[in-house]
Copies of this chain bind each other. A is one copy, B any other.
């Protein structure tokens, strides 16, 4: 198993390497009848494009998506949706150094150990370019979620030590700041911090937050297929994510029960929680409150200072990474995290339809 398939009903399979002919994704199990065109997918892909700001790699990646199957007369047919991005803009490089050396913080060593050799060009299969397939599929899921009144808001919560302020939170800024922060003042501070780090030939980590509103109750299954468990897997499956939190997250471990419990109340005739420490699930099932999710991202491992490492001949060497690498992964990864949330929620929405026998019987009566 190479592990490139995710989901039970809404199932995606990504393929492609950084410097291969193309990268893509197949969505199997998308319900029939969704209006879909390439422009809608492209809008999501453009959010992960590099070369757009001073704090991202100046590398150009065109990343123009083609839909190859699964659409007829402008709508999904229920058949697999195959989408592809051709690798037109990969520069030809001198890979002699990384071909034999193991870059610290990268998967070079583990790929060689697992498979016996690796496609070393630009990180091969473990490149961030693999997320193109995730984002394209996530776009389709997001369009369905949107049609159902489910809204995902994903943004950079912090960069290094600089965090956004809840008071200044402005979702409109997410797409306008280069940091994807919803707080222009924090964003400016973060940009300054980043520039300082770039001047030191170093890189920086950060935190991405995803908030989901409008979600129905009942999503997720008890025991192993808890909604938060699948969100944890989906987020941590993104290359550089080192921690996952829901609701109070780590902080819950320091609270008392009386502080962390969310009382229930009635609001407009509906049962609702007074607070949302839980972050939108109880017992692994969505409770109707907003989902509050966070992914903690490590600093880009490719830095421009000399690093100690070894090569595949087991010789100690010093590596000097060259190329055009992002000094921070976070802003470009925002849409990747959003895609992973959308995919997980989409699958949970479809799986939840069979929970009650009444629903099943009624479905076939009509």
Contacts and interface: CB of A to CB of B under 8 A. Distances in A.
A105 B217 contact: no
B252 A242 contact: yes
Interface in A286-308: 286-288, 296-303, 305, 307-308
Contacts of A256: 160, 197, 200, 202-205, 299
A283 B125 CA distance: 10
11 contacts: A15-B81, A77-B125, A110-B281, A114-B355, A115-B355, A116-B356, A126-B222, A130-B222, A242-B253, A243-B252, A349-B364
A14 interface: yes
A174 interface: no
Interface string A78-105: 1111101000000000000000001011
Interface in A9-37: 9, 11, 13-17, 20-24, 26, 28-34
Interface residues of A, number: 167
B77 A115 contact: yes
Interface in A120-146: 121, 124-126, 130, 144
Contact of A253 (B111, B124, B207): B207
Interface string A221-258: 11111101111111111010011111111101111111
Contact of A228 (B1, B80, B161, B236): B236
A252 B296 contact: yes
Contacts of A244: 232, 236, 243-244
Secondary structure at the A interface, as helix, strand, loop or mixed, is mixed
Given A68-B15, A243-B250, A361-B148, A285 B4 contact: no
| Most chain B CB inside 10 Å of its own CB: which residue of A2, A116, A117, A221 | A2
Copy total for this chain: 4
A216 interface: yes
A307 B261 contact: yes
B79 A15 contact: yes
A283 B111 contact: yes
Given A8-B1, A233-B233, A350 B360 contact: yes
Interface string A252-295: 11111111111111100101001000110111111110000000
A362 to B, nearest CB: 9
A52 B263 CA distance: 31
A117 to B, nearest CB: 7
The 9 closest A-B pairs by CB, nearest first: A107-B283, A3-B225, A3-B221, A203-B257, A110-B285, A233-B233, A15-B80, A32-B115, A72-B119
Contact of A79 (B102, B125, B266, B278): B125
Contact of A68 (B22, B216, B243, B259): B22
B243 A237 contact: no
A238 to B, nearest CB: 9
